Amino acid sequence: MPLPFFLILAMPLLAFIVAGVTERGNASWINARGVNIVIFAYSLISLLISIVLLINMGKYADAYGSSPTLITGGVFWLIMDWMRMVFLFIVSVVSGLKLISGSKT
């Protein structure tokens, strides 16, 4: 099941690469706006998945009398989970601002 899911997520990026190769004849030209859209969509999807997983971890910890520290394997890995959320949020915001600004670079 993970392979078809990966292919579905990879299709938009592959479509932009193929379109760039067929139009210019080499892989160096890729539609910058299209890549920005794909990066924003992937970062937003990743952020939403991480939020849902964090919420589910909290529900599990509450239901079974555990703690997120025990579930993640220690304080270090709990901090890493939160850092992942922060980094995904930053990437989503930056890619969204780049998309809105209309920059072609």
pLDDT digits (tens, 9 = 90+) for 9-60: 666 666 666 665 555 555 544 566 777 888 888 899 899 999 999 999 999 9
At 83, the amino acid letter reads M
State the chain's mean pLDDT as an integer.
80
Residue 53 pLDDT: 93
- How much of the chain exceeds pLDDT 70, in percent? 66
Is the separation of the CB atoms in 87 and 93 below 8 Å? Answer: no
Q: Look at residue 78 and tell me whether its pLDDT is greater than 70.
A: yes
* This model's pTM is above 0.75: no
The Cα–Cα gap between 40 and 71 comes to: 30
Specify the higher pLDDT residue, 1 or 66. Answer: 66
